[in-house]
Every structure is written in C-alpha cells, then in structure tokens.
Structure 1
C-alpha cells in the first residue's frame, strides 16, 4: 500500500507577526515547525504501515527550507520526502495550492491513501484536504478521530462531526483529514534523526508539472481569493474588584451584578 501524507511547514504562531497592510503573515518574523495536525496525520500513516505492508511518502509544498520539515518526517517514520517548490507557486490560495498538490500527486504515481491534518494553524481553513480529493476525483472523509480498520480495498474510520460520531467505510483510493484526537505523535529517536539528515529530498518544480498544470491557475495571479485585510484583535483582560474592609458593600455589589446578569431575581 502506498500512503501519501500532506505536510506543511508553518511559522511559530505564538511569535509570528502579521503585515496588516499587505494582508500576509510575516513568515520571517518567527521560527518554523511542522503543522501540528500534520504530525497526527503522519503518525496515523506510520501506524497503518506497522499493521500492513505500506510505503509512507511525505509531500510538502513550500520554500526550499521546507526540506528540513520533510527530513523530520523521515525521522518520524516516513520512507521518503518530496518537496513541491517553485517561485511560480508563491501566493497561492487554497484552491491554487490544492491544484498544485493534486497535480504533483498524479506525477508521483500510484497511491492508495492520502492523509492530511484537519487544518493548518496559520490558515485555519480546513479546505486543502477535501479540495485535493475533489481534484483527484476520489472519496474523502473529514474530522477523522480513529481508524477502525483498513485493508487493500477500504478504510473504516470514525468521523467527529458536530456532536456526533459517525462510523464510515470509504473505498480506496481515498483521502482523509485527521484531528488531534486520533493519536499522540511519537518523538523521533536520535538514531533516526541522524539517518534522516542524510536523506535526499526530491524536488518537483513547475516545469515537471506543466503538462497538466495551467500556469494561470497557480500562484497569486491564479488564486481566486485574496486576503483583503488582517486585523489582530486586542487581548481583553479580566477586570476585578477587591473588597478588604467594607464587606456589606461587597455583598451589595455582588447582588446588583447578579441581578444585572439575571442570575437572581
């Protein structure tokens, strides 16, 4: 079985800054890491490979620096890493990104299962996985919290939607997006880290995909959606009062607040 895991290198969202005028994330303002949800996707793939004979391939679209993220994926259990990187892809929105990813997956060759994280912490759209599935014309399941069973023809999963849990059977090839509840990603061993440092990451550029990829549908100009404005909300602080001496005044104040909030009549 061939399993593809979609990986994205994202900025440290606790430290990153935003360019409100340009409507973009200033990715140079903070360090990078693998999108946390994608680590769950990778772990799910590795666990499947431990049960049935499988090859796990980590695929990422991003700048050349994303090779380090793919090497970490190899240290965590992936067999190989493939980076889709070209200046022509810069500024792609979710549709353009999904177009590029699906084209690259077709270029890579046969696959049985594609696993992606529920969403990315920098975009938070949750659109890439389902859009890739649509472009590849394969079934997909979202918000997967558990893989019940898998064989060469189908995968049975638990999908958490709203307040319900649904048991779904999906024919392969298929794509699933997983939540953080599906597993706890294991840490790579020192031995695997050292081995992954020497791994060769295959690079796919636009020239490699131009036979089935329209230049007018990728990058900033090929993106139908644009970020008009970014607003970072101010953090509201909790307000409080301290009564040290006048206890009756404190009680009266609390009663008035409860009445105002209609907690008591």
Structure 2
C-alpha cells in the first residue's frame, strides 16, 4: 500500500481573465475556472496505482476557497481526501513561492510515498512547479512521464519522453513525477461516488498551520520573479452562420475568407 498526493490547480476556463495592474498577477477569485487538464491525468494515474497497489489518494491545491468545486469532482472520481491551501499571504506567488507553499502543505500532511503532478498548467505554462516541489522536499523526481512501466510498494518505474531521447527510470519512494497527457484517459466522475462523498469534508489549511512562519517565503513577498507586463489573451473568433442555398453560401464564405486575407 502506498500513500499518494496529487497536486492539482484550478485555471481560467476561458480567455476572459482580469489582471491586477499593480502586481501583474491574475485575479482568480470569482473568475470562471476549471481543473487544469494535465492534473486530471495525474489524478487518474494515482487512482490506477491505488487500485493496483492499495493505499490512499489525497488531492492538494493552493488557491481560493472556490477550489472546493474541483475537490468535489476529485472525490467523485475516487480520491480519498482533499486539502486546499488558502490564505491571502499566498496570493501573487510565482513558481518558487507556489512550489514552496505546496511543499509545506505536503509536509503538514506527513509527506507521501509518491507525489504526482500534471506536466504543466494551462495558465502559467512553466512546467517547473512539480520539479521545484521535489527540490524543496529533497526528493528524487522524474518529469515528462508518459507511461508507468512497473510499480510496487517500494519503487516505481517510468518511461520518460525527453527532448531527444526516451528513457526508462526506476525511482525509489518517496519521489515525485510529472505526467504527460498521453499516460492515460481520465475517468468520468461517478454519480454514486458524488452522492456518497457529498458531505465529505474538504480540509482548509492556512498560513497559521504551516511550520515555516516566515512570510517572506510565500506569495508576492516570496516571489523573486519580476513581471514587467501581463495581458489577457485575445478572445476567440465567434461563430458565423451563413444562410441560403449552396451557391449563396459558397459566395458568402468566399467573401468572408477573402476579407480576412485568408485566401
């Protein structure tokens, strides 16, 4: 049996995001969000290993309390526990401060045999948080994992698709891996599990719960990255409906494509 912690994150669901003009950080509270797609592959990998080896799966995230919705979905997929690290002191964190905060949360939870992260998030897109967590905790890690080739109660063997080579790595527990989207197909949330876990608590940890009480290690204060400018991506093109018979539709489509200099 192994203890697994999956680090997950809510990301903006669309292109309509607000930027704080002073800090350059995204305003996440109250904005429409969804689960980071890569993290669903990490959760499914954890559930697969739990079914194979036995053990527990805990989902961990850092962010506003609205992340409870994501945690409820994780419960409905089969997670055993869910923890949110939420405090205003964590706001505005870059990769260093985010990974440090998550590492502190993992320490409070008593560590894990295996920590799983998605390869990257669709907002920050750095692919650095997972390896940085491992560095803070002093753990061996493997990134870009596309397949679990073997696993038992003491170690895990993985296939890594790197820039120019593919390699098989065997890592003893405790360790951390970040997974690719091709590693599995995430299961759909179960209605029966959703009903069964409806009253299951989502635990909240704040700065006061942390072992390290130095505020300069968290949030904007603990972020050495300087953001010179940040902007929301442009809105996607809206659908255009063309009416008429086949010839009329063809003429209209040709005119639209020509006006946009596509042809």
Please confirm whether the aligned pair reaches a TM-score higher than 0.5, indicating the same fold. yes
- The alignment status of 1:183 with 2:205, answered yes or no, reads no
Give RMSD over aligned pairs: 2.0
Q: How does 1:1-265 map to 2 (within 5 A)?
A: 1-12=2-13, 14-19=14-19, 21-22=21-22, 23-27=24-28, 30-209=31-210, 211-231=211-231, 239-241=261-263
Distance 1:26 1:212 in 2: 26
Judge conservation of contact 1:20–1:229 (CA < 8 Å) in 2.
no
1:214 shift after superposition: 1.9
Q: How has the CA–CA distance of structure 1 residues 133 and 84 changed in structure 2, closer, same or farther, with 3 Å as cutoff? A: same
**What is the count of residue pairs matched by the alignment?**
239
For structure 2, the 5+ residue unaligned runs are 238-256
Q: How has the CA–CA distance of structure 1 residues 163 and 136 changed in structure 2, closer, same or farther, with 3 Å as cutoff? A: same
| Structure having the higher Rg | 1
Other structure's SS at 2:223 match: coil
1:30 shift after superposition: 4.6
Distance 1:59 1:29 in 2: 20
1:20 shift after superposition: 7.9
1:19 shift after superposition: 2.9
Other structure's SS at 1:225 match: coil
| Mean Cα deviation higher: 137-146 or 15-24 | 15-24
Question: TM-score of the superposition, structure 2-length normalised?
Answer: 0.85
Question: TM-score of the superposition, structure 1-length normalised?
Answer: 0.84
Judge conservation of contact 1:15–1:30 (CA < 8 Å) in 2.
no
Q: How has the CA–CA distance of structure 1 residues 67 and 233 changed in structure 2, closer, same or farther, with 3 Å as cutoff? A: closer
1:71 shift after superposition: 1.5
Distance 1:213 1:159 in 2: 37
